[in-house]
Structure 1
């Protein structure tokens, strides 16, 4: 055994193996348990090194078992918008074609949401993983302890997988990481303690004493570097889900790309809680001063930090980006002080694009018209829907999705990808395309009902088929709704009639819905064979072309059906 391998195995044994779950191996011989423990520990080390999560969280990401389809761990970094899919090998030699083929097969199953083919450990995390996959890059990692790289056949298999999955968009990377890489990061566990860092303020003020609180201006590149360094450990566990708020993320990313110098004006800043705040000077300078923060945690502003980190990793210039930062020390406060700061900074003064829709007087007019018909349209945040008091109730998000499909495939695709952008500017498109001043309230009401009934009928087709088909149908529902609305409007649909029986209309179109479903699936498998449906149906350009061909297929199939009848 090489000395480097010996040292890696020692770190796996001491740092990771004590946290590895072997409950499914309790009846196996000790030598098999030891092998499984090491294999799983290497998978956890790989996740920890990439996602920068704690040892405990990395070990919890392990999904290795007898039916794992070659996937030993699935790690998630919401801050980086990355999902890490890991296979490990602790025996000698490099990755073989058979091992790579099995791993590639498992990755396909995961991307197709074929949960029945994956093991129980992965299935238990289905909701978490599916949510992450909707807006993340997938990093496939074959991690091993050999010194040889993959042979020609193994490399060909991983290259082929990457090419096929990325045919609709660049979402998958595939890496081989052998003994050298694992030796370099063998001590990762010692660097995963509570984050400590220095922060230099261009300008700062304090209400009493800098050791208690600071508020000031910090260069964006500093925050980007810290976020990239600590990743998930930088954020309080109570707010990590905020990192997946697509609406805010898209706006932040666009500002950093197109107008970085305006970032400070548009951004509310971040709040950091630290165990202590220190400075090398007894009397800190009022500008360009560096403070040391022990045990820091970002409790508000996770999206801002995530956007800055992504910009840094994309090599965007951050020289002109500045952020308002507030740092609060927990020293001298009650034990639950950090939890209270986290709670209140994330529930007060949170304003998104949706809130500004309430400023549009036409929304109130639409609501009043429908209210007279015992229909509730809720366009204000926090206004609860009441299905018992009203004959029908729906909110702004559902209206936006339905009207996006009503207006055409382009807006339907935009709404699927980033619904918050549909409300970004009340005086411009796409908002005015969805809510024009002559929008008939009955049309909006019927579009929402059509959206509900059609999607139920359309997705029923997918539920009856295997997982890849189900995945294609589910991810194409926005485009399909737009196409079927267009067909319905030319075939007797009465969207402007408040009394139109939408449910009966959809029930009477069961054959047409089935035909459309089959056209979508068949065309997808011709144009995106082996590809990832989730990314395909977010690609504006591809969906625009795809929808035209599906429309032609659909009309042709209906013509054949009519002739046969």
Structure 2
């Protein structure tokens, strides 16, 4: 019950330093729920438990001179392993069953410890639900900076993986932003990587291609402005495909298989200084940009290039090839 009370009171703040928030109804989380309801007395034996880190603690003894029990106040506390356990238990309404559940729980105090110990503990303790390479961006200060800068302009940037991620006119998330920055980079090979496997950007957060996109030179405003352009281009591509009677041929192939290279070519036509302006100002600028005209022209040039030089190539394969993709990209930019 204590864990449920914490979750109800604090929600995601309880796991703020974890690499993931609640993942919702995963197989593991459904099993956690089932065990708590069907075998609450066995929960202790079946669950890996919870690890919490805290900067320090203040202890008030439960009884005079008692050392076996006490009331504790943890400062700077966060659950870094067990987010799925606490969030799952926090959503169970059968309090009678929860009253029987016992969960292994440990607290690690970081006072006097090396500065990066908390991050190392977080990485080493997440093994129940499958870890994705993108999850570790939660520990990158650049991501926190981008979120803070976007928040100043009333945009919600969601980079921690969870079941409550949502996209809207005033929000974006990590994968969408990665695709936008890759296409805006001017490097067609990064657009190819988005298409062939976006997870590759997060394999090593200390070097390219991740650092090419996420570094101090990229402001929160520019990042979200790129997302706005990406969405406008995607809308144009979707409308173009919807209006095509023939769902085949070179033009269709570019829209489907070469959409990222086409997007990169369109980005290249947008003055970079416009992307650097405040988000509210850029929304007005975007309405004045001829995205439809720029997109149509780039598509026409790319189709022309393919028909002349790559007529015998399967486009699904061509757009996975960095060299050929760069050539087609160049024609769209020209």
Conserved in 2, the CA contact under 8 Å of 1:446 and 1:498?
yes
Q: Please state if 1:493 is matched with 2:271.
A: no
Following superposition of structure 1 onto structure 2, how do residues 504-515 of structure 1 map, counting pairs within 5 Å? Answer: 504-506=287-289, 508-515=290-297
* Bigger Cα Rg: 1
Following superposition of structure 1 onto structure 2, how do residues 389-468 of structure 1 map, counting pairs within 5 Å? Answer: 392-408=170-186, 409-465=188-244, 466-468=246-248
Higher strand share: 1
Conserved in 2, the CA contact under 8 Å of 1:462 and 1:471?
no
Q: Distance in 1 between matches of 2:221 and 2:252?
A: 32
Conserved in 2, the CA contact under 8 Å of 1:376 and 1:385?
no
Residue of structure 1 in register with 2:139 after alignment: 359
Q: Please state if 1:476 is matched with 2:258.
A: yes
Conserved in 1, the CA contact under 8 Å of 2:297 and 2:332?
no
Match of 1:519 among 301, 309, 312: 301
Match of 2:315 among 533, 536, 545: 533
SS in 1 for 2:191: helix
Residues 1:550 and 1:438: Cα distance change in structure 2 (over 3 Å): closer
Residues 1:400 and 1:494: Cα distance change in structure 2 (over 3 Å): closer
Conserved in 2, the CA contact under 8 Å of 1:401 and 1:415?
yes
Residues 1:462 and 1:521: Cα distance change in structure 2 (over 3 Å): farther
Residues 1:445 and 1:540: Cα distance change in structure 2 (over 3 Å): same
CA root-mean-square deviation: 2.4
SS in 2 for 1:419: helix
Match of 1:384 among 164, 170, 179: 164
Q: Distance in 1 between matches of 2:229 and 2:255?
A: 17
Q: Distance in 1 between matches of 2:223 and 2:275?
A: 12
Shift of 1:419: 0.5
SS in 2 for 1:377: strand
Structure 2 residues without counterparts, runs of 5 or longer? 1-26, 28-126
Q: Distance in 2 between matches of 1:384 and 1:416?
A: 25
Residues 1:509 and 1:351: Cα distance change in structure 2 (over 3 Å): closer
Residue of structure 1 in register with 2:56 after alignment: none
Runs (4 or more) in structure 1 with deviation over 6 Å come to none
SS in 2 for 1:394: strand
TM-score normalised by the chain length of structure 1: 0.34
Shift of 1:386: 4.4
TM-score normalised by the chain length of structure 2: 0.56
Shift of 1:364: 1.0
Corresponding pairs, count: 204
Shift of 1:503: 4.5
Q: Distance in 1 between matches of 2:297 and 2:260?
A: 16
Q: Distance in 2 between matches of 1:383 and 1:438?
A: 30
Q: Distance in 2 between matches of 1:550 and 1:369?
A: 33
Shift of 1:530: 4.4
Following superposition of structure 1 onto structure 2, how do residues 267-416 of structure 1 map, counting pairs within 5 Å? Answer: 348-382=128-162, 384-386=164-166, 392-408=170-186, 409-416=188-195
Residue of structure 2 in register with 1:157 after alignment: none
Residues 1:536 and 1:524: Cα distance change in structure 2 (over 3 Å): same
Shift of 1:520: 1.6
